[in-house]
Structure 1
């Protein structure tokens, strides 16, 4: 697990344990450590289930049910996980001599504990879903008010566009197209999370992904993210063909630089990015179609990182972009069949400038 993941789960476990401490103090007037242990055993399986740490296929099936069935099966699943956690925790505390309750008390989950656990886990899961919806960076920024006043910073942007979405919609209809896009956006999520990026927005059949500059160029994460997305789609080609009759084809563009970040809105708040960097990335993505290359990166951004050994870079010269006065150096990226030596990789960006 990464340091970020360890911190995340550490905070979740701490919050769950503190809820158990509060319950013990208010209901029993003591035994805070017992309450903390029971709370972790009872609530954490539910949270882990919601975070897809186990039974992920069952969870996906569950979320595909109609609302009445979803509610019934969800409540039954949560209750089963509570009972399993309560019995496991009670058994371990009993055989260790920590508690003196009878075996009957250990194996019967009190209803007041059930209702309290539903309240605690429901609150935590709700907060985590809002965090997932907004993205961890944006969620934290909104809580701390970091961007209430506009901030000048550097970021990397990745624009990804689905090729042929219009023809797919004409053939299969809007509803089927939305299902296709939903499956694609779901496939994007894990590679973006793995490479510490944030999905900023969905615009029609396009996705905007962003990183703070230093995080995005470290270990060429922004580039690796693009090709991990492509690899994941190709690895599931049979599923795409069976469900939709075709595989998604993508166009992607990467660029980075200085932008202005600000929190905007009154009833609906959003972290928004302003500046030439965002517009240039969008124009660069449009250039993919003109040049017939699926993945492009600006020369400026490419020169700020070391290319992965598995990526081939092809300098395409300078190109003018609509709405931009200065031409921009453009590099096409692709998987190469044979990895190059690590000593040769750093020279790619430098060679493009020659």
Structure 2
């Protein structure tokens, strides 16, 4: 079956993108080179086509109350125009997907409106889960995944480059805030969210507008970036990749996402009993950050050794362009998870020294 194409497929080809198949979509993996694109985001601004991501709108009575039963985060903290990063959980406390919940209407309104942005690879799975668990609630789910374009502009210069093209005063939009506005004189929506560890915006527009916005931002100096740089950027910022660092067998507590688990503030939700047990009894494994000695790169799937025994597995690893240092994420037992602990990663059959370090590896100044 042929890959799906985003509204920016032709624009990416025109800019010499090297394409790859990802989650059923034909997506740019790189343009001028991963390191160049990575540094453009860290130093100025990079532009990503993320139109492949899942986009749902939920409307009806009690949308937030219904979602409260599906996630460990207290969504009642939200005010209109704010968003929450969280996870959908299964009964075993495993992560079905990580997503961002955007509240558009007043909490408790007769009809609430909530937008969800989910991972491309899990869009269909998430939709089935949501429809099943919202059945009979009077809540309508609209899947706009193929009907809207989504562009991510990331980097310290993102606001300056975007401001001339939107009606909203971007200085009034805080981190994890979002708002409907005019983009190139047409209706659009933007959020101050991203997946790179930098300031930035995710901009949703009609497909017919996508190429014009892409061209305007690249003309202003934003560097087109592909999935390769998106991966190295998120790993430096220690942001989990679904399907590698987190999945339906890992809990948010094991994955170091305890900050989005709000047990004291919430009633019952799917997976709560498992998370309560992990809080009380401790966990069998934890996701840790590793730096490698020398230039040895720990790749996904490589064994992690502690006191000579294989105790875990690398989930993500790369040579971090900003840090010029091999970094990785891995699950290990609590005894091996202490900051400063020396471990080993088996790289091509040879044990290589690794050190457990505090995450994130990189933090924007």
Structure 1 length normalisation: TM-score? 0.26
Q: Which has the larger radius of gyration?
A: 1
TM-score by length of 2: 0.26
More helix by share: 1
Q: Which has the higher contact order (CA 8 A, sep 6+)?
A: 2
